[in-house]
Structure 1
Amino acid sequence: MTRAELLSVIQGVRFNRDRVVVSVPRTSHLLDADNPYDALSSREREVLALVGMALSNRQIGVRLRITEGTVKRHLRNIFRKLGATSRMDAANKAAAWSAPARPAIPTSPPPTTHPWRLSGRR
């Protein structure tokens, strides 16, 4: 609860002692105390993954074919939903909460010839 919200509630009690009205943000149902990462949309997750690769807003926009302003809007939403204060903070929180499955490390050795070359020919 912000200072302004608290002040509003206190003033409401002061002027109307019979009733207290408490408001809840519209997005509060999206927040999961255990894992706020789940509240992110698929596009926000895409943006966050690219932030984790240290891409700039412009580079993210080019990759996702969206404007830089749209990238900034997605980042504001991500910061709000994750309670993050910076790009790095958001990426670190998402990494801690999402723990995506890592690709398996190949156990067989790499091929000895190039795939575009036929064996025995040069």
Structure 2
Amino acid sequence: MRGPAFYLVFLIFAGTIWPAGAAELLMLEQPGCPWCARFNEEIAPAYAKTQEGRRAPLRRVDITDAWPPDLDFIQRERFTPTFVLVEDGRELGRIRGYPGDEFFWYLLGDLIAKLDETVRE
């Protein structure tokens, strides 16, 4: 059995890894989307292992399915893929389309920087 000090240290440590109001990177996609397939080949396998992926885990949303109720604050898209960075029930930015692996990481870096700005506010 662990004492209260262990749990306090665990909670403090966990808070540095998963801050309150954790961010998500939504991927709005649809079946048959060739650019979604390209993203799935070039980025998706490694995404969760990257610093960006740990900071804003990828959540896939099929735009042909019913819209998730917890995403009512997000403007819907017809263009796929669209990547939407959200945190604490608000949208911080989006990337429309998949511009290829190098440019995607660059644009994503700009979005992730917005998470740092919200921490300072």
TM-score for the superposition, normalised by structure 2: 0.30
Which has the larger share of helix?
1
Please say which structure displays the higher CA radius of gyration.
1
The one of the two structures with greater contact order (alpha-carbon pairs below 8 A, sep at least 6) is 2
TM-score for the superposition, normalised by structure 1: 0.30
